[in-house]
Homo-oligomer: A and B are copies of this chain.
Amino acid sequence: MKHSFRNDYSELAHPRILEAFSSVGNQQFESYGLDKCSANAASLLRKTFNAPSADIHFISGGTQANLVAISSILRPHEAVIAPTTGHIFVHEAGAIEATGHKVCTREGHNGKLRVVDIESILDEHTDEHMVKPRLVYISLSTECGTVYTKSELTTISEFCRANKLFLYIDGARLGSAINSPACDLTYSDVAALVDIFFVGGTKNGALFGEAIVICNDKLKSDFRFHIKQHGAMLAKGATIGLQFETLFKDGLYDELAEHSGKMAKRLADGIRTLEFEFLFPPETNLIIPIFTEDVANTMHQSYDFYDWQKFENTVAVRLLTSWATTECAVDEFLADLKAHRG
């Protein structure tokens, strides 16, 4: 097999992450995230997001971040609003329901939820015979590879605040969004507009690890109990702190996200040149072109990637680039695609 475009977590970790591990030797750290690396990393994130009073917690994966954060917020009868493409609704094996909460969905547009979607769910949920929607979950960038604009996110944020809904962002690919030319949001904007979100490390160069950022004071109390109760508190918490310190102390996080975005753009431009269309606008390191069935099948013989959706004679395929994807790998894919297009 040639280079895999299956996902952005195929490679273990960026070399600078591994160097950071090696550099500490047999040093002893406080356990459970109370170490100095985690404290430094939290400071760097507070600065990056211009959120000096945010609480920051590090945990090992995205599904875990979602379930710990969401279940810490909701009372038993409260529910989450999400787009039907939302990771928590589709690909987390019912993790949110396993903590007792229903996920109410609407289709949205291009993987993005709109105020009209949220509104229609609120209109439907009027009494105690139904759950009570209390939190809006969106992903940035989305599972469709798209981004919310500042105007879109602001509108949602204002609606949520007016309707007593908490706003949560799954930022497994937050770097790819912020570094996307299609996205005019800054890190500060995100922290200012939402109540709680997480910043993904796993999909942007870390060995593993996500940083949960709690902006709304009401959501801060006793958060460490929830982390512990879900088995999400690493004994060697410094392991994640150290990685985020490395990613945020001198711009590595943006550097890696920007690179993977550029590789995806190179890939998307090449695909468009070959006259294929896209299911959703290609805005980040995840793009979904539509190939004919024949082309898709042939490309599958050399490359690893997911089929997103099958249509009559075509198939939308999901291609991802990472911090480790090279121009060379992209160009090889494009050359093969051109050859097989017939």
Tell me the A residues contacting B by CB distance below 8 Å. Answer: 3-4, 6-7, 9-13, 15, 18, 21-22, 24, 26-31, 60-68, 71-72, 75-77, 79, 90-95, 97-102, 128-132, 202-203, 207-208, 222, 224-236, 238-239, 242, 324
Contact = CB atoms under 8 A, between A and B. Distances in A.
29 contacts: A3-B28, A4-B28, A6-B31, A10-B28, A12-B238, A12-B239, A18-B18, A18-B21, A60-B60, A64-B231, A75-B75, A77-B93, A79-B94, A92-B231, A93-B128, A94-B102, A94-B130, A95-B230, A97-B101, A98-B101, A98-B229, A132-B222, A132-B225, A202-B235, A202-B236, A207-B236, A208-B235, A230-B231, A231-B232
Given A21-B12, A229-B98, A236 B208 contact: yes
B234 A208 contact: yes
A95 B229 contact: yes
Contacts of A18: 18, 21-22
Contacts of A232: 61, 64, 231
A227 B102 contact: no
A70 to B, nearest CB: 11
A53 B65 CA distance: 34
Contacts of A31: 6-7, 9-10
Contacts of A91: 129-130
Identical chains bound together, number: 4
A233 B63 CA distance: 9
A73 to B, nearest CB: 9
B13 A29 contact: no
A68 B22 contact: no
Given A10-B31, A11-B26, A11-B27, A68 B231 contact: yes
B29 A10 contact: yes
A24 B242 CA distance: 20
Contacts of A11: 26-29
B231 A63 contact: yes
Nearest to A4: B28
Contacts of A63: 228, 231, 233
Contacts of A27: 11-12
A114 to B, nearest CB: 21
B93 A61 contact: no
Nearest to A131: B94
B28 A21 contact: no
Contacts of A64: 230-232
A92 B9 contact: no
Contacts of A15: 22
A228 B62 CA distance: 11
Contacts of A13: 21, 236
Of all A-B residue pairs in the complex, the 8 with the closest CB atoms, nearest first, are A64-B231, A77-B225, A10-B28, A94-B131, A63-B231, A93-B228, A128-B224, A93-B229
Contacts of A7: 31, 235
A77 B235 contact: no
Nearest to A79: B94
Contacts of A239: 12, 207-208
A129 B77 contact: no
